[in-house]
């Protein structure tokens, strides 16, 4: 795979950005795909504690890419979770409260590119586990993930909970 | 999706097979794809405790489909794991001992159809979690998984460990 963006953005040894530099790896290719976002990044991930991936998301946020993050309620609160840091930076985050686990690990870049697989966005997943990530622009595969993201995003809108609370108070 | 096999095989109320019957669900469609195997099933799954999926694999084994199962060493030994049952039935199972976790959750049917996603083959994953499974015959997506399965299968050949032990004794 040809990785123009990451090489262009980070290949200089003088580069002060906080992302890994130099050799192309599976991880640098993943970062490259994430950082290729120009308009939106929809991220639906069970566990998010990897600081390099967090920095990539924060960089996109600074570049005015619209970011939406859906995560699992329990795992968003564990030690090392980046979810709070993303929230503090002003990124819109929603947590699933209904299911046993919100176990997805996928992202959709610019409503076009699907990144999905077994990999949680953690350091152990990236450095130690055997994992897979599948990246595709095939609409037949991408569209169901976009649709599912939208469904979960609406379902976990905090306004719905407040509305229910007010409604409960009224009765 | 048209599910000839499962409907044909299990739609009768008099059917005595142990698989779920009747209504088509995501799970019945998954079973349908697994049961469509006619020559081989390569399964690479972190955690395997779902009895319906175990029964499907055992049915294929009885039909002389060549089955290879790769799993995580630690998780293959937990309570409810089906790995021992598959082994006892004569199915060839290998466990990854090197990585932190063998975290894959994919299957390749007849060297042609890839089934991959976030879903471990457990009851909680099927019944309670939010999960995804992506199914494709796109060679560009299927081939890397076939290659990775082959690599891990060879890497975790028990004969390699015995060879190393003998070699260690000799020196």
Q: Give the pLDDT confidence of B26-36 residue by residue, as tens digits.
A: 999 999 999 99
Burial letters for B105-138: b for 16+ Cβ neighbours within 10 Å, e otherwise? bbbbbeeebbbbbbbbbbebbbeebbbbbbbbee
Q: What is the mean pLDDT of residues B125-129?
A: 92
Query: Whose CA is closest to A113, among A52, A58, A42, A9?
Result: A42
What 8-state DSSP symbol labels residue B75?
G
For residue range B32-67, list pLDDT tens digits in order.
999 999 999 999 999 999 999 999 999 999 999 999
The per-residue pLDDT for B24 is 82
Q: Is the model's pLDDT at A19 over the cut of 90?
A: no
Residue B109 is encoded by which pair of tokens? 């049917």
Fold of A4-170: Endonuclease; Chain A (3.30.870)
Cβ-based neighbour number of residue A14 at 10 Å? 4
Fold of B21-170: Endonuclease; Chain A (3.30.870)
Residue B161 DSSP SS3: helix
Structural domain spans, chain A:
4-170
Q: Is the model's pLDDT at A17 over the cut of 60?
A: no
Chain B residues lying within 8 Å of A117, measured CB to CB: 116
Which residues are bridge partners to A66 per DSSP? A40
Angle at B79 between CA B73 and CA B81, to 5 degrees: 55
Q: What is the mean pLDDT of residues A50-77?
A: 95
**Residue in A closest to B135 by C-alpha:** A141
Cβ-based neighbour number of residue A129 at 10 Å? 20
Q: Higher-confidence residue: B20 or B86?
A: B86
The per-residue pLDDT for A14 is 52
Q: How far apart are CA B131 and CA A116, in angstroms?
A: 11
Q: Higher-confidence residue: A142 or A3?
A: A142
Question: Residue A26: what are its φ and ψ, rounded to 5°?
Answer: -55, -40
Task: Report the predicted TM-score, pTM, of the whole model to 2 decimal places.
Answer: 0.86
Angle at B166 between CA B161 and CA B170, to 5 degrees: 145
Q: Is the model's pLDDT at B12 over the cut of 50?
A: no
For residue range B78-102, list pLDDT tens digits in order.
889 999 999 999 999 999 988 889 9
Q: Is the model's pLDDT at A47 over the cut of 80?
A: yes
Distance from CA of B117 to the nearest CA of A (A): 5
Inter-chain touch B104–A132, beta carbons under 8 Å: yes
Cβ of A162 under 8 Å from any chain B Cβ? no
Contact A36, A4 (CB under 8 A): no
Q: At A11, is the pLDDT very low, low, confident or very high (cuts 50, 70, 90)?
A: very low
Q: How far apart are CA B12 and CA A153, in angstroms?
A: 39
Distances (CA, A) of A131 to A31, A151, B6, B87, B128: 16, 27, 31, 24, 23
Active site residue A105: yes
Query: Whose CA is closest to A70, among A32, A36, A37, A108?
Result: A108
Q: Is the model's pLDDT at A3 over the cut of 60?
A: no
Q: Characterize the bridge pairing of strands A105-109 and A113-117.
A: antiparallel
Residue B91 is encoded by which pair of tokens? 């199915």
Cβ of B25 under 8 Å from any chain A Cβ? no
DSSP A56-94: HHHHHHHTT-EEEEEEETTGGGSTT-SHHHHHHTT-EEE
Inter-chain touch A106–B148, beta carbons under 8 Å: no
Could you give the percent of chain B with pLDDT greater than 70? Answer: 82
Distances (CA, A) of A138 to A134, B37, B136: 11, 25, 11
| CA torsion angle B123 B124 B128 B134 (round to 10) | -80
3-class SS shares of chain B: helix, strand, coil, % to 5:
45, 20, 35
What 8-state DSSP symbol labels residue B71?
E
**Least CB–CB distance from B101: residue in A105, A129, A132:** A129
Q: How far apart are CA A110 and CA A151, in angstroms?
A: 18
**Complex-level ipTM:** 0.85
Residue A11 is encoded by which pair of tokens? 């290949």
For residue range A64-106, list pLDDT tens digits in order.
999 999 999 988 888 899 999 999 999 999 999 888 899 999 9
For residue range A149-165, list pLDDT tens digits in order.
999 999 999 888 777 66
Q: Is the model's pLDDT at A123 over the cut of 50?
A: yes
The per-residue pLDDT for B168 is 66
């Amino acid at each position: 795979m040809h990785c123009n963006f990451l090489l262009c953005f980070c290949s200089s040894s003088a580069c002060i950005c906080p992302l890994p530099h130099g050799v192309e790896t599976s991880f640098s290719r993943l970062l490259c795909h994430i950082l290729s976002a120009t308009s939106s990044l929809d991220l639906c991930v069970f566990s998010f504690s990897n600081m390099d991936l967090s920095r990539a998301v924060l960089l996109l946020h600074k570049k005015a890419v619209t970011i939406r993050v859906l995560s699992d309620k329990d795992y968003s609160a564990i030690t090392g979770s980046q979810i709070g840091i993303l929230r503090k930076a002003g990124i819109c985050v929603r947590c699933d409260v209904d299911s046993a686990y919100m176990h997805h690990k996928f992202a959709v870049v610019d409503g076009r590119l699907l990144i999905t697989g077994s990999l949680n966005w953690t350091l152990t997943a990236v450095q130690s586990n055997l994992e897979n990530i599948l990246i595709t622009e095939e609409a037949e595969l991408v569209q169901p993930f976009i649709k599912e993201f939208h469904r979960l995003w609406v379902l976990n809108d905090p306004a719905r909970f407040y509305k229910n609370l007010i409604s409960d108070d009224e009765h």
